[in-house]
Chain A
Amino acid sequence: MANLATDFVGIKSPNPFWLASAPPTDKEYNVRRAFEAGWGGVVWKTLGLDPHIVNVNGPRYGAVWGPDRRLLGMNNIELITDRPLETNLEEIKAVKRDYPDRAMIVSLMVPCEEEPWAWILKKVEETGADGVELNFGCPHGMSERGMGSAVGQVPEYIEMVTRWCKANTRMPVIVKLTPNVADIRKPAAAAHAGGADAVSLINTVNSITGVDLDLFAPEPTIDGKGAHGGYCGPAVKPIALNMVAEIKRTAEIGRLPVSGIGGVTTWRDAAEFLALGAGNVQVCTAAMTYGFKVVEEMISGLSQYLDEKEMDSVRDLVGRAVPNVVDWQDLNLNYVTKARIDQDACIKCGRCFAACEDTSHQAITMSPDRVFEVNDAECVACNLCVNVCPVEDCITMVRLPAGETDPRTGAVVRDDYANWTTHPNNPAAKAAE
């Protein structure tokens, strides 16, 4: 059986599943339950300076649901821990003492001056924690006070604070990044320049989950008003995957370890982050939705997958997909596919037809007895029919073999590789002359 143990910037944990800094890791009680449930590590909810902050006394969370009220996305306007610093430190120490094999990371957020950072780092070191995570990501509330994403959106600040922290502690320093930026590579590079041992991403995405159409107020609504919150859960995973990939495929920062965060709900999500180069993953919304027990499925699923792929450890999977993330201009224009409908699997709902006929290329025909067929002369292989079909694998994209003529273009399919950079329609093409 594959070994799930990981060593992330020197921090060991029995599996790559950490709980992210968030409500589930705010208290000793919760964290003990998490470790009992099998989580490999936790990032303790962000500590700050006393007097501790206060939270709203109305709803903290908003939600977006799919069918059957499946929670697809959640946002929150909760701030960092609202308990005294000393209480948290004592609890961290007690838990770490009782669970020495688990990773204990402490998330931190103090004002942008070296002195408080140096002071709190010493306090954390005394707990025996394994490392710290700098919260430069929180997009609501704290950012209004010049912390959280207000730091994470300015690469110079990231680099400065990271440098202070590295200078003031022997613990590994992980910098947590906000996705609320135009180019995630810039803050990652700043963390790297400041000496960060790793980055973790993504923090939550600025969001309003909905509008109360009776109150005309954003949700979650507090006394008729709402503030933007941080969006998380399955809905943000694609954003997070891309940002992780962007960092990992960039030469200067590609070797910077990444802790992947953002919508990890199943072992499969975790495996995807790992494949894109994350050394481990952090989870929050899935635990908040289903409880800590979900880690059992993540452990069994990842273990089975690694075994099936004949990989001995998590390390064998990390980064396997990175070389395949390329620029659009590098995609093979000679790769020609067509939609194929499995008539035995088809349940004749006609959604592929409606989608193609109304919004795409009129490449699916419908007979009076509801047989749906692809017209190769019109099919551009856009994949929309695959995406809207309710039956998995009923419609697939099948490659035309070399030598065959594509009825849409009239061109013979070639087996060599050619991309936009050499295409005759590209004014900047570097044609082989």
Chain B
Amino acid sequence: MKPNALAEGVRPGRLDPSSLAEGFCDVHPPLTPHEAAVAADRCYFCHDAPCIAACPTEIDIPLFIRQIATGTPEAAAKTIFEQNILGGMCARVCPVETLCEQACVRETAEHEPVEIGRLQRYATDTLMAADVHPFERAAATGKRIAVVGAGPAGLACAHRLAMKGHDVVIYDAREKPGGLNEYGIAAYKTVDGFAEREVAWLLQIGGIRLEQGRALGRDVTLEELRADHDAVFLGTGLGAVNALGLDGEDRDGVEDAVDFIAELRQAEDLAALPIGRDVVVIGGGMTAVDAAVQAKLLGALNVTMVYRRGRDRMNASRKEQDHATTRGVRIVTNAVPVAVHGNGAVREVEFEFVEDDLTPTGERFRLTADQVFKAIGQRLDGAALPATERGKIAVTDAGRTSVDGVWAGGDCAAGGDDLTVTAVAEGRDAAEDIHAALTR
């Protein structure tokens, strides 16, 4: 046992390298060709398949699975990429259990859906491993479009625009492109630098220039972008993190979960990453699960996720919750934080149990904590943006904002769920609308 394994405080090196490697390996390992053939055979090739309708990008799932079953995974990959150029990442991070696989008729029939996510990964991995980019750029149109944010929405939008012959410049605030794919998803979902490789593969379409380290509002304004380009797409994501609004929230050890995940994703050496012995994660979404599970995998002895409502209201799917609990994360529901105790650094978080409608019960408890991750949601950051609605940029179905020539999509826009696949769909659809507008 490592000397640090049981020690209090936020410290690195709780686990040996082999335990870390084991914990952070591929959570859903890729299918072998034989496994893929067996899995693909289970697809019924439904008419007007429910899985297609359940996919925000409407991938023709029965067709691509049939293409796998008949020994042409490359063709399957093209079927996927035609609808979703980030089909490789979505195969890894989509909550398929609430999307395509939930709609699968075999879920109805035997509670065992066709493994659509893993089959999608099999197809897309096959084509990407061959380093084939299956699309060609149309003749140049001479139109210039600015895309703000190199996350899923921005990348999907940029690719579709570039494919249609437009010149695209992506302005991104971070050091590396990819957005939450690169900075915001649990490492075990996207191993071996996949996010980075995927962006490089996507850029093979040509006609896209990346400008990293250029933040909207800091280095460039929306007005400047509008003036210099024929259209602007905003895919900035949600830059700000919600606060607990409690005394003691500024104590050492109280951090935003998104920062922890980003740091972990960029860490060269996981053994050098400090983690608490007693970790409390506040929130019930995917970010909370990703933070809690990864804290455990780094060697935290006690990790507790606390959510203010019941399990069924959590944004993290039941499968994600089960993943957390099987990794040793304890989930406490119907409790809200009321105080952060400590002397300089956090020592305890005090909670109060609440009813489903959040009415306080008066019953309180404390959790020992040397590290606390806040994961209670993010919000739009920035000024001089188009008109908002419920805290996000208001958009039409095609992604048009209140400002002429400016489209928006992904988490920053008031569209669908805050999912990678939804961002891809919105970026793609906005690109189609921009193209239509510019070539009318």
Contacts and interface: CB of A to CB of B under 8 A. Distances in A.
Interface of A: 67-69, 347-351, 353-354, 366, 370, 390-391
Contacts of B106: 347
A358 to B, nearest CB: 9
Given A67-B41, A68-B38, A68-B41, A350 B47 contact: yes
B362 to A, nearest CB: 46
User: Sorted from nearest, which 9 A-B pairs have the closest CB atoms?
Assistant: A350-B47, A354-B47, A67-B41, A347-B105, A349-B46, A347-B108, A349-B105, A347-B109, A349-B44
Given A67-B41, A68-B41, A391 B48 contact: no
A390 B48 contact: no
Nearest to A358: B47
Given A347-B106, A391-B109, 14 more contacts: A68-B37, A68-B38, A69-B37, A347-B108, A348-B46, A349-B44, A349-B49, A350-B49, A351-B44, A351-B46, A351-B47, A366-B48, A370-B48, A390-B109
B5 to A, nearest CB: 45
B50 A370 contact: yes
Given A348-B105, A391-B109, A353 B47 contact: yes
A117 B46 CA distance: 59
B45 interface: yes
B47 A349 contact: yes
B54 to A, nearest CB: 12
A354 B106 CA distance: 18
Nearest to B108: A347
A391 B109 CA distance: 8
Contacts of A366: 47-48
Interface in B13-41: 37-38, 41
Contacts of A391: 109
22 contacts: A67-B42, A68-B37, A68-B38, A69-B37, A347-B105, A347-B106, A347-B108, A348-B46, A348-B105, A349-B44, A349-B46, A349-B105, A350-B46, A350-B47, A350-B48, A350-B49, A351-B45, A351-B46, A366-B48, A370-B50, A390-B44, A391-B109
Interface residues of B, number: 15
B120 to A, nearest CB: 20
Contacts of A67: 41-42
A115 B49 CA distance: 68
Nearest to B34: A69
Contacts of A390: 44, 109
A391 B44 CA distance: 11
A361 to B, nearest CB: 16
Most A CB contacts (10 A, CB to CB) among B38, B44, B47, B49 go to B47
Contacts of B42: 67
B109 to A, nearest CB: 4
B113 to A, nearest CB: 11
B399 to A, nearest CB: 26
A349 B44 CA distance: 7
A68 B45 CA distance: 16
A390 B114 CA distance: 14
B108 A348 contact: yes
A391 B105 CA distance: 11
Given A390-B44, A390-B109, A348 B50 contact: yes
A369 to B, nearest CB: 10
Nearest to B45: A351
Contacts of B105: 347-349
Interface string B84-117: 0000000000000000000001101100000000
A57 to B, nearest CB: 29
Contacts of A354: 47
A42 to B, nearest CB: 35
Contacts of A347: 105-106, 108-109
A353 B47 CA distance: 7
A347 B109 CA distance: 6
Contacts of B38: 68
Contacts of B108: 347-348
B199 to A, nearest CB: 36
A238 B106 CA distance: 30
Nearest to A355: B47
Nearest to A357: B47
Most A CB contacts (10 A, CB to CB) among B41, B44, B108 go to B44
A5 B41 CA distance: 41
Nearest to B44: A349
Contacts of B109: 347, 390-391
Nearest to B40: A67
A267 B50 CA distance: 38
Contacts of A353: 47
B114 to A, nearest CB: 11
Contacts of B45: 351
A63 to B, nearest CB: 15
A201 B20 CA distance: 65
Nearest to B62: A349
